[in-house]
Amino acid sequence: MNSQNIQIKIEVEDFEQLVLLSSVMPVSLINIDVEKKIAFVFLQPLASTLPVIYFSRLDKIPQNKFVYINRVTGKIKYGDEFSTEPNDITIPLVRVKSRDSIV
């Protein structure tokens, strides 16, 4: 096994859990692989050289550019522009294509 391909993969329960997780990361961004129907985020812990990939399988691919989570209520919404609501965290949904499988 190539040492460059070593990573920790953690599957979360659903996309909502991935949104919650992404909202507290240093960089809030969710990658969407439409072909494989998965969403994932990367975390590079400071105390480790191994990246952690959190992912969820998707029944339905989000069609919007952003997902918003309200810090107070925890309510999740979707849209195509940055949210102007003061309690919302705007998380971009980036569609990716890759030759290598995340899962």
User: In 1-103, where do the E strands start and end?
Assistant: 8-11, 30-33, 38-43, 52-57, 66-70, 76-79, 88-95
Does residue 28 carry a pLDDT above 70?
yes
For residue 103, what pLDDT is reported?
Answer: 63
Q: Check residues 3 and 4 and name the one with the higher pLDDT.
A: 4
Give the global pTM.
Answer: 0.85
Does residue 4 carry a pLDDT above 60?
no
Strand-strand pairing, 52-57 and 88-95: unpaired
Mean pLDDT value across residues 61-89: 96
Does residue 3 carry a pLDDT above 60?
no
Helix, strand, coil fractions of the chain, as percent rounded to 5 = 10, 35, 50
Does residue 48 carry a pLDDT above 80?
no
